[in-house]
């Protein structure tokens, strides 16, 4: 991206005392983030998810214990870090959430609409005018399950498979979507995630084409968002970015969402997975 030649000069003349104040702000924000690490309410969601995995539900009164997340029926350990991947039974590349939809439909007998009905906790519909993503305690089975499944890959290396042509196609499509600019604000993912060391307000932005940034970003979703008091999944992260880009609504588990996640997972390859994390 080109630097604005006319305005760039301003940076050079900032008084030094101010530069110091900014450093202090950054340092204190870091300290705040450090203090949050002491305890992560994501645990509460993980515990519910583990319970839900074993609970018989749906018209078929079945649990999800035989759900195949890519490593064989019922194997949860390490599954999340090897997603998205191609599944022969659905002939699709799927991420954790879309695979859970498949299992809820196939094993438990829900309709796809039922399985997707309440994808994000608290937010089936925006409940709070001033704070649209902070619902009033609407639980999401999907979110709870994903929290637990992700937690079972903690400490493992991010390793999305790329051997199937459809996996590579999803990656390539995701890359194109990443650079796709549209809408009334001319935004694309690249607007915020194309340069190193940038911020929105005080939030640091990962540069997704940089392995270290991508590893840290991908490796910390799902995350418990303290600002919302909710656990947020990678599907939600995509949905929310797309909303803020002023695009129409990204459909839950849609091909575009999975393509973007595939692109990010591949960029983050080799990083250590450390989610569900706790975030601002």
Partner 1 sequence: MADPMRIRANLTGDKVEVKVLMAHEMETGLRKDAGGNAIPAHFIRNVTVTHGGKTVLSAQWGTSVSRNPFLHFRFKGGRPGEKVTITWMDNKGDKRTDEAVIAGGG
Partner 2 sequence: MDAKRREVLKTGGGVLALAATAGIFKSGEALAQEWNKAAFDTKSVAETLKALGGGASSPSDAVEITAPDIAENGAVVPIAVESKLPKTQVIAILIEKNPTTLSADFDIPAGTDPFISTRVKMAETSNVYALVIADGKYFHAMKEIKVTIGGCGG
Partner 3 sequence: MKPRMILALALSSIWIAGCATRPSDSEAERAVAEMIKVSFRTRGQATIDRLGQDDAQALCSKHAGELPKGVSDGIEKAQQATIRYPNPGKLMGDWRQGERIAQSGVGKQFTDDPARPAGGSCYNCHQLSKNELSFGTIGPSLYQFGRQRGASEAIQKYVYAKIYNPEASVACSNMPRFGHNGVLTEDQITHLVALLLDPDSPVNK
Residues in touch with partner 1 (CB under 8 A)? 38-39, 41, 43-44, 47-48, 125-132, 136-137, 226, 229
Give yes or no for residue 132 binding partner 3 (CB under 8 A): yes
Give yes or no for residue 4 binding partner 3 (CB under 8 A): yes
- Using a 10 angstrom Cβ sphere, with 0-12 exposed, 13-18 middle and 19 or more buried, the burial of residue 98 is buried
Which of the residues 204 through 233 are near partner 3 (CB under 8 A)? 205
Give yes or no for residue 11 binding partner 3 (CB under 8 A): yes
Catalytic-residue membership of 241: yes
Residue 218: both structure tokens together: 């991908």
User: Do 278 and 149 meet the contact criterion of CB atoms below 8 Å apart?
Assistant: no
Interface residue with partner 3 among 183, 212, 227, 229 (CB under 8 A) is 183
Residue 175: both structure tokens together: 């890359």
Give yes or no for residue 179 binding partner 3 (CB under 8 A): yes
| φ, ψ for residue 214, nearest 5 deg | -65, -40
- Given 17, 103, 189, 241, the catalytic residue: 241
List of residues 6+ apart from 204 with CB closer than 8 A: 197, 198
Query: Which range, of 59-67, 145-153, 192-200, 266-274, touches partner 3 by CB under 8 A?
Result: 192-200
Nearer to partner 1 by Cβ, of 135 and 206: the residue is: 135
| φ, ψ for residue 73, nearest 5 deg | -60, 130
Shortest distance in whole angstroms from residue 264 CB to partner 3: 15
Which of the residues 110 through 129 are near partner 3 (CB under 8 A)? 126
List of residues 6+ apart from 229 with CB closer than 8 A: 41, 122, 134
Question: For residues 110, 111, 116 and 117, what is the CA-based torsion angle, rounded to 10 degrees?
Answer: -90
Give yes or no for residue 265 binding partner 3 (CB under 8 A): no
User: Do 245 and 190 meet the contact criterion of CB atoms below 8 Å apart?
Assistant: no
Per DSSP, 182 falls in state B
Binding footprint of partner 3 on the chain (CB under 8 A): 1-8, 10-11, 13-14, 18, 21-22, 25, 126, 132, 165, 168-169, 172-173, 175-177, 179-188, 190-192, 194-195, 197-203, 205, 242-244, 246-251, 254-257, 259
Q: Where in the sequence numbering do the catalytic residues fall?
A: 241
């Amino acid at each position: 991206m080109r630097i604005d030649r006319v305005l760039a000069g301003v940076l050079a003349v900032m008084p030094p005392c101010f530069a110091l104040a900014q450093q202090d702000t950054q340092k204190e924000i870091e300290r705040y983030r450090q203090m949050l690490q002491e305890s992560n309410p994501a645990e509460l969601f993980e515990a519910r998810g583990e319970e839900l995995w074993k609970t018989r539900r749906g018209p078929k009164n079945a649990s999800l214990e035989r759900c195949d997340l890519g490593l064989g029926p019922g194997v949860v350990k390490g599954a999340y870090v090897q997603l998205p991947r191609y599944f022969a039974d659905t002939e699709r590349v799927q991420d954790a959430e879309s695979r859970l939809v498949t299992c809820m439909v196939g094993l438990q007998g829900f309709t796809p609409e039922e399985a997707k009905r309440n994808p994000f906790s608290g937010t089936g519909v925006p409940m709070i005018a001033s704070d649209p993503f902070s619902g009033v305690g609407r639980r999401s089975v999907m979110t709870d399950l994903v929290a637990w499944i992700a937690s079972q890959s903690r400490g493992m290396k991010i390793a999305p498979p790329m051997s199937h042509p459809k996996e590579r196609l999803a990656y390539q499509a995701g890359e194109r979507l990443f650079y796709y600019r549209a809408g009334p604000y001319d935004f694309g993912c690249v607007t915020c995630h194309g340069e190193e060391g940038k911020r929105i307000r005080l939030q640091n932005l990962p540069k997704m084409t940089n392995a270290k940034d991508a590893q840290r970003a991908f490796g910390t979703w799902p995350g418990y968002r303290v600002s919302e008091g909710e656990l947020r999944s990678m599907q939600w992260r995509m949905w929310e970015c797309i909303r803020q880009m002023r695009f129409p609504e990204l459909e839950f588990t849609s091909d575009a969402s999975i393509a973007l996640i595939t692109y990010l997972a591949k960029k983050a390859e080799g990083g250590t997975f450390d989610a569900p994390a706790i975030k601002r």
